[in-house]
Structures are given as structure tokens and as C-alpha cells.
Amino acid sequence: MSSTESVFTANGVTCIVPAQGESRTIFENLGFAIAPGEIVDLVGPSGSGKSSLLTAFARLNPHATGSFTLNGHDSGEFTPQQWRHEVAYLPQKPILPGDTVADAIRLPFTLVIRAGASGLGDQNDATNAAAATTAATSADADSAHTASAPHRIGKVGLGRKFIALFRNNDQQARKLLTDQKIRMTLDAMGCEDIDLARPPHDLSGGQAARVSLARTLLTEPKVLLADEVDAGLDDENAEKVADIMATAAAKGMAIIRIRHRPPDGRASHIVTLANGTLSEKAGEQA
Amino acid sequence: MSGNAYDIDIWGLLVALAMVAIAAGISELMRINIGKTLLWSACRALLQLCAMGFIIGYVIRANNVFLVFAVIAVMLVAAVQITLSRAKGVPKGLAGPVLLSLTITMLLMISLVTELVVRPHPWYAPQLVVPLTGMLLGNTVSALAVGLSRFYESMNERRDEIDTLLALGSTAWEAARPSIVSSIRLGLLPTTATLASCGIVTIPGMMAGQVIAGGDPLEAAKYQFVVFAAIAALTLVADSLIMAMVYRTCFTADDQYKPPEMR
């Protein structure tokens, strides 16, 4: 895989965790790359560090270091929030806060990174909201959009934080992501069985996993890091989840899946992480 | 300093101590095993209060601005120590933020309540400034201790949720916000409860003191309200300040969740 056609690359990824006073190296100096629209399955024995690798890719792992690029831009050019907006880690355990399923799905759009400054400040700027909607809905947004005008949202002033403490961006989020759009998306994903008005904790395990996946897919990342989202699901639900991801990949999303199930034929190739090394069976049809 | 309308002599103190001793004796008979602690605490309280009385008496007689602020500084340091010893499960190195938030609220208290509302002569009037600071610190110390304990407990409980929020692109502040809100609410609960119940169920200590000392009850009530209102507002300020200063201890510079063992 050459890095020119890759949407995401990782180099020199090392993960060292402290264990009883000393440190344990999970993996060292790993390299990885993925092209748009590819699905790569990451397999390997339990405890080999698959989750650590994916959280490292999303810059969520405090024990990991490495250099990452997105569309040729170094991760240092992004704030952590901007990076995770594009390189989205989907945890194994679906966490769905909120009173209803719709609220849980809208959660990412209540965040400053998507609701924008107008959600934090006083003006409720319609043009700003419109711009954010365009940004959120354009699946084929090019690299220029990602890298241009990175206004650093991570650094908001203390005064603004105090204001933000007592307000939420629910209104803003409702504009960015209407109930109809959520409904349409869920239906298109084959999730007609999920009632948006229900409390999230009423969902079955399979439904919760699909809602969690739908929530991240609606944020339209360029790279999806799916951490064993089909674990604990029955075959029917696992199939649905795989279908949803295959559809997203067909639209250009790069997807890395951690899987313990037998190959389902959707991956472009399978990569194994064992004993701290990544072995790639490139070209092998899964 | 006209003293109380009805002074308490040494026999009064002995009667009070005897009451505690009898209660302690009964508790020993009932095998509740709290008698020793009770008696010991009562003796400690007597000594501490008398010492405080002597010190405040001296400071009032000396009427020296530097002495007033020296006493307040000692109270602040003690308040920091008590806050940190009462707060459970907090990382090391919080003394600075706690001291800062207590100092800021103390200065606000003195400038607003003393100089804006009461306007004493001289402006640093020790019999006003020292007790007011004491009452404020008493309240903020427990609010901060409860708030800090709750905040870190909540951040540990919400670990999965925080990781999910961060993965979805939240800032550290956004991920911590639910914990911050719940800890400030919990820290303020006793204060709002006191505000709501005073005058119906309880006669607050300060007002009771003025009434016993022969003061006009309505004047005492006004004083009490001003102090309560200020304490309630400033407790919220202290709690918010400390949260704004410490929430980052749960995150790395790259806005990653920092588990308790790394803090």
C-alpha cells in the first residue's frame, strides 16, 4: 500500500503501559495504512493490543505514541477534536446517554466541534448552522476542507466555559440533525425496528450496537475504527451491522474492524496483530 | 464589647462538660463505644473555642490591619488542609487550586459584604471581618470537600461515557461537564437546604448569638440574611472556580482520559 492513495497512515506506533511499577510494551513501531472505501479486518489473540492500536489511531490512548496522517496531513495539524471528528473510534460497548434514542444519536451534534461557536456563544447564527450542516452532510468532503481553517475549538476561554456550563446545544443539534433525517438514515440502514422516542436503555443489545454505529456513521468520519461492534450479537444482527458498514465503505469511508467472528467476505484484507507485530496478508480475499 | 447579657461562668462550662460525660457514660453502658470519642471531641472543642476566643479578643483589642490578615491567612491555610483531608479519592497537588479558590471567595466576601453592605470603621474591623471569614470558610470547606470527592468519583464512574464522548469529538470540558454539574449541585445542597429551612425550623447560630447577647432580633435577622446570601453565592463561586481549575487533571494534554492511577 503506498501512502499516496491512503486516506490514513500510521507510523512508529508504540504502546507501553505501566504495570506494577514497571512498564510493559504491548507493541512497538507498528505501521499501517488504509485507502478510502477499504475495509480492513484486524484480528489477533485477546490481549494482543488490537483495541489499544485503534484508540492510538484516534489519539485517544494516553499510553501510545506514533505519527499519523490523514489525507497527507500530519495529525499535529489538527486539534484532538478535529482529528477524532475525522478518525472516529467506535467502542465495543454502546454508551447511549440521553432520554430517547433520538437524543443519543444527536449527542455528537451537541458538541462544539459540530454545533460550532454559535452553540457556545450568544449569537444563534443561522448561516453558521447551515455551514455546519453542509460540512456534516457532505460525505465526499475533500482533504482541503479538513485541513483548511482549523480554528482551534479546544481552547475556549474560561468565561465562555462558564457560560457553556449552564447551556446545552440541544436546539442547535435538533437543527443540524432533524428527527426525519435520523429516521431516514436508520431506515436506510435496515433499522426500521428502532423507535426514536424510546429510552435508549430499552433497546436490545443488537439494537443498541446498531444505534451506536449509526450515531458515529451520521458524523461522517473519513476513517471508522470499529472495535468489535458485532461481539455478543446474534448472527442476524452481526450481519446487519456488517451490511451497514459495507454500505458506508462503498461511499468512500475507510473502515478498520476488530473482529473475532469468522471472515464474512466483506474485508478487502485481514491484518493480524500478535506478539507485538502486525502481519498483513495483503491481497488475500477474506 | 459589652459582653453577653447573661455571662457563662466556669460552673456553666463544667455543667456542659458533665452533660457530655454522662452521655458518654450511658453510651459505654449501651456498648455503642462512642463515649471516648465524644468526650475527647468535647474537650478539644472547649479548648479550641476558648483559644479562638482569646485570639479574636486579642486581635480586636490590637485593632491592627496586619494582625487581622495574618489571622485570616492562618485560617485559609487550615481550611485548605481540612478540605484536602476530607475530600476522598482526589489526586495530589490540589492545594494550590483550593487555596486560590478560597482566597478569591474570601476577598469577594470581605469586599462585598464588609465594605459594600456593612461599611465598618475602620474598614478592617476585626470583630466583623474575622467571624465573617470563619463562617464563609466553614461553609466553602465542606462544599469543596464534597464537590471534589463527587467530581473524581463521578469521573471514575463515567469512564466509558467519557471515552465515548471524546471519541465523538468532545472537548475535555464537554466530557467532564456532567460530572462538574453534579458535583457542584451536591456541594451546594446543604447550603440551599439551610437557606430554605432557616427561620422555620432553625434559628441560625449567628442570629441566635446576637439575640442571646441582647441584640434586636430584627436587626439580627437582617444580618443573618446578608451573611447567608453572601455565603450561598460565594460557595457556588468557590465550587465553580475549583472545578474549572481541576477538571483538567482527569485529561492528558491531548484531551485523553487519564485513569485514576495516572493522575
> Do A81 and B177 lie within an 8 Å CB cutoff?
no
Collapsed DSSP state (helix, strand, coil) of residue A14: strand
Shortest Cα distance, chain B CAs vs residue A201, angstroms: 14
Q: What is the CATH number of domain A8-281?
A: 3.40.50.300
* Residue matched to cell numbers 470499529: A226
From the candidates A15, A22, A57, A60, which should be mutated to test the interface with B, based on the most B CB atoms within 10 A? A60
ipTM attached to this prediction: 0.82
CB of B157 less than 8 A from some CB of A: no
Shortest Cα distance, chain B CAs vs residue A62, angstroms: 6
- How far, CA to CA in Å, does B52 sit from each of A42, A127, B75? 68, 63, 11
Could you state, in order of their start, the residue ranges of all structural domains in chain A?
Answer: 8-281
Shortest Cα distance, chain A CAs vs residue B146, angstroms: 19
Task: Give per-residue pLDDT as tens, A190-205.
Answer: 788 899 999 999 999 8
Task: Give per-residue pLDDT as tens, A25-84.
Answer: 999 999 999 999 999 999 999 889 999 999 999 999 999 999 999 999 999 999 999 999
> Do A81 and B255 lie within an 8 Å CB cutoff?
yes
Q: B1-6: long-range contacts (C-beta < 8 A, 24 or more apart)?
A: B1/B60, B1/B127, B3/B213, B4/B212, B4/B213, B4/B214, B5/B212, B5/B213, B5/B214, B6/B212
Task: Give per-residue pLDDT as tens, A147-192.
Answer: 334 444 445 566 665 665 556 677 778 888 888 889 988 888 778 8
Q: Which of A12-16, A138-142, B245-249 is least confident? A: A138-142
> Do A219 and B169 lie within an 8 Å CB cutoff?
yes
pTM (two decimals): 0.83
> Do B169 and A216 lie within an 8 Å CB cutoff?
no
Q: Tell me whether strands A73-74 and A22-34 are parallel, antiparallel or unpaired.
A: unpaired
CB of B159 less than 8 A from some CB of A: no
Q: Which of B169, B173, B181 sits opposite A85 (nearest CB)?
A: B169
> Do B254 and A113 lie within an 8 Å CB cutoff?
no
| Cβ-based neighbours of A149, under 8 Å, separated by 6 or more | none
> Rounded to the nearest 10 degrees, how much is the dihedral formed by the CA atoms of A249, A250, A253, A258?
10
> Do A111 and B261 lie within an 8 Å CB cutoff?
no
Residue A262: predicted pLDDT: 86
> Do A62 and B258 lie within an 8 Å CB cutoff?
yes
CB of B14 less than 8 A from some CB of A: no
> Do A58 and B167 lie within an 8 Å CB cutoff?
yes
Bridge partners (DSSP) listed for residue A226? A90, A257
C-alpha atoms less than 13 angstroms from C-alpha of A58 in its C-beta half-sphere: 36
| Residues of chain A found within 8 Å of residue B166, distances taken between Cβ atoms | 60, 80, 84
Count how many pairs of residues, chain A against chain B, have C-beta atoms within 8 Å.
83
Residue A3 has pLDDT above 90, yes or no: no
pLDDT band at A2 (very low <50, low <70, confident <90, very high): very low
Taking the C-alpha atoms of residue B106 and residue B121, their distance in angstroms, rounded to an integer, is 19
Residue A154: predicted pLDDT: 46
B82 C-beta neighbours (distance < 10 Å), count: 17
Which of B234, B258, B102, B263 has its CA nearest to residue B176?
A: B258
Shortest Cα distance, chain B CAs vs residue A124, angstroms: 19
Task: Give per-residue pLDDT as tens, B15-68.
Answer: 999 999 999 999 888 888 888 888 999 999 999 999 989 999 999 999 999 999
Direct distance between the N- and C-terminal alpha carbons of chain A, in angstroms, rounded to an integer: 17
Shortest Cα distance, chain B CAs vs residue A91, angstroms: 7
Taking the C-alpha atoms of residue B90 and residue B10, their distance in angstroms, rounded to an integer, is 44
> Do B171 and A156 lie within an 8 Å CB cutoff?
yes
How does B169-185 read in b/e, with b if 16+ C-beta sit within 10 Å? bbbbbbbbbbbbebbbe
Shortest Cα distance, chain B CAs vs residue A170, angstroms: 13
Q: What residue type is assigned to position B61 of the chain?
A: R
pLDDT band at A232 (very low <50, low <70, confident <90, very high): confident
| Residues of chain B found within 8 Å of residue A112, distances taken between Cβ atoms | 170-171, 174
Residue A98 has pLDDT above 70, yes or no: yes
Collapsed DSSP state (helix, strand, coil) of residue A258: strand
Supply B49's cell numbers. 473555642
| Residues of chain A found within 8 Å of residue B240, distances taken between Cβ atoms | 162, 165
